[in-house]
Every structure is written in C-alpha cells, then in structure tokens.
Amino acid sequence: MDRVRIYDATLRDGTQGEGMSLSVEDKLLIVGRLDDVGIDYIEGGFPGSNPKDREFFELMRKQPPKHSKLVAFGSTRRARVKASDDPGLRAIAQSGAPAAAIFGKTWGLHVREVLRTSLENNLNMIEDSVAFLKAAGLEVVYDAEHFFDGYRDSAEYALETLKAAARGGADWLVLCDTNGGTLTWDVVQAVGDVMANVGTPVGIHAHNDSGLGAANSLAAVRCGATQVHGTINGYGERCGNADLCTIVPTLELKMNKRCLPEGGLHKLTELSLYVAEIANQALNETSPYVGKSAFAHKGGMHVDAIQKNPLSYEHVDPKRVGNRRRVLLSELSGRSLILDKAREYAPGVNKDSHEIRRLFDELGERELQGYLFEGAEGSFQLMLMKAFGKHEELFHRVGFRIIVDKDIEGRVTSEATIKIGLGDRQVHTAAEGGGPVDALDTALRKALREFYPEIRNIHLTDYKVRVLEGADGTASKVRVLMESTDGQTLWGTVGVSENIIEASWQALVDSLEYGLLYKKARNGNAGK
C-alpha cells in the first residue's frame, strides 16, 4: 500500500475561519488527539506573529508529540532583508519545532503588486529562505502560494519558483490553491507538469471555495502528490480548507493509500467530534464519513434493504471510520423498521398484524401533525409499549398552570403549579424556575421523587424548538425535541402544539416516563 503523508493545518489555517478561535490550552489538547490518531505533520502556528503562538511552541518543547512532527509556519524573507536577519525566519528556526513551512509567491501579480519586487528577486527570496532553514537543521515544507493561479498566468515562472525552493533544499514542494477556484482537471494538468519537471516530493494544499477541496486533493494524489494538507472538519477562511475527515478515509478505503497507523482510521469520527467541541463549532451532520447523518437511513425501501445487506445502501462500513449506522423512524421508513422494533415487545408479531398496521398509520398521522420521531426514540418506544399492552402507567397528567413574574429590578422568574395522578392519589405541587420549562421540570420532579427516587439520575441534556408553519406568526405550531440521559443512555422525546409550553410539557413528561420505565426494565433484566 502506497504511503501518503497527512499534514494538518487546523491550528493555524483552520483558525482563520469566521468565528473560530483557539486558546493555547485548546491547541495543546487538539495536538494530543491528532498525535494519538497518527497525523504525520501538525502545523502549530506562526511563532513570529503573536505571543499566543510563541507560548504554544515553548510549551511544545516540553511535551513534543510522540508520532506527529510539529511544524512552525511563516513566510519567505522580506524583499530587502537577508534571510539570517529576517525576524520571522529566525523565530521559526528558534521555535524548537523540527519542521518548518514557509510560503512564497508563485504568481507574478503578487510579486509585482503585493511584494513590489522583481520576479528575479522573488526567486532569490525563496531559495535563500529555504536554505537558511535547512542550515538550521529543519525539515522544510515550501508552500507555493497561489500556485495554480500563477501557473495559469505563466506556467514557466510558476515552475521556476518551485525549482528555486528545490535549489534551497526544500524537502517538500506543496502546490497551494489559495483562492480555492481551480477546477479538478486543471489541477491534474498542473500537477502532472510539476511531476515531470521537478524531482522534489510534491504536496497539495487545497481550499474549498468551489466545493472541490477534497476532489482536487485526491486528484493531485492520483497524479503523484504524496503529501496532503487540510484541516479537521474543513475549518478555514471563507469556505474552508480541504476536509481531512473526507480525504483520509477516501485515500485509505478507496485509493489504497496508507495515511494513518493501524487503528487510526477508527478514531476519525471521534476526532471530528472532539475538535468541534474544543473549537465550540457546530458540527455539519451531513459531513461524509463522520457526520451524524452519514450512515442514517430513512426511506422504506432503503431501510428494508439495509437490514438485509448493508452494502445495498452504504458505500463503506461505518465502523471503519468510527461511526455508526442509524435507522430513522418516520412514515417513510416502512413497516419493516416498525416490525423490527416492535419484536422487542411482541416477538411473534408479523408485518401484517393489526398492531403493526395501526402503528404505521398512527406514525404517519402524527408526522402529519408535525411530530418527528427521528430524534425521539423515547416517545416512539412509549407508543410501542402502549400498542402491545406493555406500558405500565407510572403517573398521568392532570393539568398545569404557569405564572411569569418580572419584579421592579427586572428579574424574571417563572412559577409552575402542576397536578398529576399517581394511582388513586392526585398530587399537587408548585416550583419556581429560571423559565417556564425549568419550572415545570422542577415541579414534576418534586411530585415524583417520593415515589420514584431514581428520577434524580435523569437529566435534560438538550432542548430544541422549531416553528413548523410560520404563516400564523406567534400562533404557529411548534415542535419541541428534548434529549435526556440517566448517565448511561441517551434518549429523545417530542411534543407538538400551537403552545410552546404545552409542547414542552408533552416532551418533558415522555422524557421522565420513558427514563423511569427504561430504568425499571433494565434493573428487572439484571436481576434475572
């Protein structure tokens, strides 16, 4: 299996994305996880640009990665300064990183209008800068900035810039699609030309402004590039960088290129989630390979086929990238999925039974009303229990009242008064909360904890509201999805109403009821 070196730029290029910022501690945590997965190169930042990056490199001296090679980033020397006197290059040489990445100009437009120097001097700047860092004992990655734009402008000069870096001793020549506007067939032509004219190993650094970051990276590898740059989850400026979470599994699983050590690919989904959490970024649930929806199946024929043979609707086994298959509940799922879940309560049931037909009809009717069971397994399980006579009523709703009060100092509080039935008894409690739903939750727990003390272990972890039909303005129907946990299992519940408090009340009651019943069933099974 051929080897492709993976170069992660999340800590530098990734942080140029809008709303993206990482503290020194954040960067250290991400380095640890990238190193554990087996990424070859980790670009840590520009030690000559700011105190945060200088502190980061100082700390990395004391705890260098075990597998990955840390890279210090910068640019070629300034036009009228010797490389040895350039503060940016000196900062890289003194950073303690074993490798350096410096970018230089490939495009005549940038040389003349941005650097304001001659094309010949630009070549000298590239060669001198690379040679200085090589003399300092560093592995040098030369980033040919705007390579493809420069190649379109003058292929001859673009190649000369690469040859200048090679004369300086560069270990890698990386072709950068800095503006992200190059089409894949143009990447193929340019990389092929470079491979035919320059002997130094070649890499690719693609951006995603045309939606081709991953495709261009893969095409470059097919033409002979053996180093690929990108970021976790595609973070980066404008439309982002090429997404390593897409590129790496495609290279390994479909192009027979080894990118990570044994077992590294299995950690990819976890890595994606971890970096998103540290960076406080919302995950794209439809991301290839690692997204929550990447292996989610909803259509009835799809669900039926996937249960017979996963290859029918999955291009790879989700376990290979650390993800999992999800079969979604909806009116599109067909009776086969409902049947599969129903057999937990009625092992002998078949798809033509009246219970299954009734459930299928009820599911369709509820979804017509706005209910969504894809993320509400708890509410659906309660439906199943009731359909097959397996539901034990722990309590029932009688009513509630909410009072919202704002005092003279501007503090807003909510008070909930609820009535629930517990067997022959009716319990009436009240509680305050920061908002109406919090007050309802507190009051309901207060009413139940004497009878079900295990309710203390059930906690709400997520709460989402969506307006279903905006035409009615503030009177529009809303859907509330709640996610809860008992510390061991997660489950979702749903409520729908024109009144957001009623929708929340439905989802809240389902959440606590399912949690208590699930706990009871689990304890019962454990005792057998």
The structure tokens 């309802």 sit at 440
Q: Which of 57, 77, 67 is nearest to 12 (CA)?
A: 57
CA dist., res. 59 & res. 69, Å (int): 15
- What are the extents of the domains in the chain? 2-279, 296-369, 401-451
Per the prediction, the chain carries an average pLDDT of 89
Fold of 401-451: Double Stranded RNA Binding Domain (3.30.160)
Q: Which of 294, 276, 277 is nearest to 285 (CA)?
A: 294
pLDDT for 465-501, tens place per residue? 888 765 555 557 899 999 888 877 788 899 999 899 9
> Tokens at residue 517, please?
């019943």
> According to DSSP H, which parts of 63-183 are helical?
87-93, 108-110, 119-135, 147-153, 155-168
pLDDT for 242-283, tens place per residue? 999 999 999 999 999 999 999 999 999 999 989 998 998 888
Residue 333 has pLDDT above 70, yes or no: no
CA dist., res. 253 & res. 152, Å (int): 33
Residue 527 has pLDDT above 50, yes or no: no
DSSP-assigned letters across all residues of 388-404: TT------EEEEEEEEE
Architecture of domain 2-279 in this structure? Alpha-Beta Barrel (3.20)
pLDDT for 150-201, tens place per residue? 999 999 999 999 999 999 999 999 999 999 999 999 999 999 999 999 999 9
pLDDT for 422-460, tens place per residue? 888 899 999 998 889 999 999 999 999 888 998 888 988
